[in-house]
Each structure stands twice: as structure tokens, then as C-alpha cells.
Amino acid sequence: MSKPVPRTRWLELDERLCIRFNRAARLGPVRHILRIVNRLGNGVFCYALMGALLAVHGVAAVRVVLPMAAVGLTRTLLYKCLKAKTSRRQPDQVYQAITCSASPLDPFSFPSGHTLHAVAFSFSAVASA
């Protein structure tokens, strides 16, 4: 078990924002949108995009798809390393005011795999285009 972190202004801001977003996510329409974004962030969209680029543009798309695939592999390795090193617990495990509405993929919240994946693939796709 990790040592308790002293409270700072950043941690207090983190807590307030987590609670505020968690409350907003309890609203039906917001929850629906977040579930769609969550599904897209799982990598399905990026892999489908790579497949579509290859299907539509054939060999010409390889110069875009290969860097995207390399970024995906690098991102996965970085993600696994950072998760193991930071071991930051999920907000619902830290703050009593936060309720979890979906099963997390793992017990740690940092880095966000969805965010890391989306940003890495977006930069790769734009840089290669």
C-alpha cells in the first residue's frame, strides 16, 4: 500500500473537479455521450480508421498507417510502464463522493489509456497526412 499523499491545492482542485464531473456524468444524456466517447477511446475508432485508409487508398495509405501502428505500439509500452510506476488509484477509490458507473479496466487511473491513445493517434494521423 502506498504512503498517503499530503493534501495540496492541486489535490483539492483534483478532488473538486472529479466530483463535479462525476455528478454531471450521472445525468442520462451526459452519461450516454461519455459512453460513446469511452467506446471510441478504446482504440476501436483508430484501428477502424487505419483499416478504412488501407481499404480505400490501398498501398498509398501505408505511409500514414505504419506510423500510426508504431505510435500505437509505443503508446501501449509507455502506458504499461507509467501505470506500473504511478499506481494512482481510481477516483472512486479515493473520494467517497464519487460513484463509479462502469467497471474500470484496471485499478489505476493514471495515465488515462483513452486519452493517451486518442492524442497519440491524432498527432500521428495529422503529422502523416
**Band of residue 52 on the pLDDT scale cut at 50, 70, 90:** very high
**Is residue 94 predicted with pLDDT exceeding 70?**
yes
Region label for 111, one of left (φ > 0), alpha (ψ between -120 and 50) or beta (otherwise):
beta
- Domain layout of the chain by residue ranges: 9-128
Q: What are residue 108's phi and psi, to 5 degrees?
A: -110, 145
- Is the pTM for the entire model greater than 0.85? no
Q: What percent of the chain has pLDDT over 70?
A: 87
